[in-house]
Amino acid sequence: MKFILASGNPHKAEEFSELLDKDVIEVIAASEKLEVEENGKTYNENAFLKAKAYYDKFQVPVLADDSGLNVAALPEVLGIHSARYGGDGLNDQDRANLLLKNMEEQENRDAYFTCVLCFYISPQEIFFFEGRLSGLIGKEYKGEHGFGYDPVFHGLGPHVNESVAEVPEWKHENSHRAHACKSALKFFKERDCQIV
């Protein structure tokens, strides 16, 4: 199946192409970026809003995602608002450093990334898949890879003392987006078998 990505970012389309099996799901960048108001209250709602807007415009199957960082000590602050944390005018590094500052007095540093994928094939066929990466908020900004909050987030497991921005290969295999893509691939492979 071929999907356009509800994003004008070709790098994001490349990332999904690497995470998904092209023989099952092929993802290409949309020919233009649409401005979609993400006013949902959940990741699912926002992913759906993006997917529907692109489907209505292009009339082809769409893949949309919504993701964010959930921090136990700041439950109402990030989540679906992660990209807008701290307000306008901040870049990724500013937001990550603001998070470190707001976590200085917090003992509970538990956090997890969430990714929800919405595969909008038609108004009658819409499928959602969720992936998570559990971890901790570190004490400093470190690492050259990744983006967003990666330099302050430590995944649980063998690299707990490193930020995910320091271990790009591990992140590629274990990220919230990778987990969501694995679930989607499994579903669509089984679905194809049933159709045949």
Report whether 9 belongs to an annotated binding site. Answer: yes
Q: Which distant-in-sequence residues (6+ apart) come within 8 Å of 95 by Cβ? A: 82, 85, 86, 148, 149
Report whether 11 belongs to an annotated binding site. Answer: yes
Q: Which distant-in-sequence residues (6+ apart) come within 8 Å of 31 by Cβ? A: 4, 58
Report whether 177 belongs to an annotated binding site. Answer: yes
- Take residue 149 and report the two structure tokens written for it: 């909050």
Is 92 noted as a catalytic residue in this protein? no
CA 193 to chain centre: 28
CA 172 to chain centre: 12
One-letter amino acid for residue 46 of the chain: N
Report whether 67 belongs to an annotated binding site. Answer: yes
Active-site residue identified among 56, 66, 92, 94: 66
Report whether 141 belongs to an annotated binding site. Answer: no
Report whether 173 belongs to an annotated binding site. Answer: no
Report whether 81 belongs to an annotated binding site. Answer: no
Binding-site residues sit at 7-12, 37, 66-67, 147-150, 171, 176-177
Binding-site residues for substrate sit at 7-12, 67, 147-150, 171, 176-177
Give catalytic residue positions. 66
Binding-site residues for Mg(2+) sit at 37, 66
